[in-house]
Structure 1
Amino acid sequence: MMSQLFPNVIWSDMVVAMIETFYMTLLALLGTFIFGIMLGLLLYLTSPGGVWQNKIINLIVATIVNVFRAIPFVILILLLFPFTDFLIGTLRGPNAALPALIIGSAPFYARLVEIGLREVDKGVIEAAKSMGAKTSTIIFKVLLKESTPALVSGLTVTAIALIGYTAVAGIIGAGGLGDYAYYYGFQRRSYDVVFMCTILIVIIVFIFQFIGDALTNKLDKR
């Protein structure tokens, strides 16, 4: 039945492409989480009234975040070719897509982190300060702890955007479902391949959305 509906689909190759998409998404999401948290904290802490209030640092970080958010992802991949080649040693395959995926999505997540941190009750922060809490304690025990549901929700949104980025990266040979849909589907006019890749990408999006929503609801104590 499946072979009749999708005559041009090689299922073993499709499974490999799906695994590559998961691989790129999960590793890029980990890197995005780390750098996004760092950038988001810097944006929040160096803003007016922040613990590390500093206009110059805040302006530099905000500029970096805004510039990389403004660059279309497909152009960013091309701009990062020299850096990717130096870092990874190749411009093809799932690993070659990781630098662009992380650099492209970390600034986006950083803004979501900043928004989440701004939602933390300032009274709780002031109470921690009045009790002599160190800056590290305020960051890890107050800010990050209180904003965890928002951070997870933002990470879910970022993960879904990353899945779309992996499909774009596939066009330049990064592997994954985007690569398979373009080279083995579109270029060969095998639209059943394109359709199946689309279905699988939608399923992956639903999986990440379901997990993210479940975690957010579990962590949200309100």
Structure 2
Amino acid sequence: MYYIVVNYVVSLIEGMEGTSLQTITMKTIILFLTLCIASVKCQDVGRCGYIQASNQYQVLEINNRCYHMVQDSVTWEQAASRCNSRNGTLAIIRDDATNNQLIQRAMSLDANDMANVSFYWIGGRVQTPGAAITWQRDINGAEVTNMYTAYVDDEPLGSGTTGCLILDPASMGWATDFCTVTLELAGYVCELASGSMSNLRTGASKVLLTFLLTLVLGYLV
């Protein structure tokens, strides 16, 4: 993108016969300053900036994935359906780093009065006490084999074929509850793809539009 801009500026300057060097210099400086500002604004959006949330602090990026900490109280099954409708999945927590970052963000949301809930459904089910977790499919549609667990003491409890995982930030781990129960203080975490080609194209378009507007204004000055 920048090579195209530089080449365009060079050809523009070469075509400015009779124009003073000072005018050319000022126009070039304005052009590149505007491009820098536009680029910074595009980067600020981030690769998870496309996610619509009531508060963008509910969204964070971990290991090239986006996690939206939704504050709506619904059942596990409803949460799973809502995430799937967004081309995502209920969060699949694969390691300590992801678990800790989600817990820290949940605690920060609560401490800053930006949370309506205290717990969050995540994408695993436990059929019987001591059984392996059955995870939702990955955002790419693949089945997930994930041996990582972060149960709090005395979990998972025996809730038969309806036991679903819930993130408990205050206890720094996971608990279980009935999948079909709406818990007043339980939201959910959606795992979504990080970035998109449409977002990248939008950012490039903003830079190009800014360049063209600056060029027009430069001629008018």
TM-score, normalization by structure 2 = 0.32
More helix by share: 1
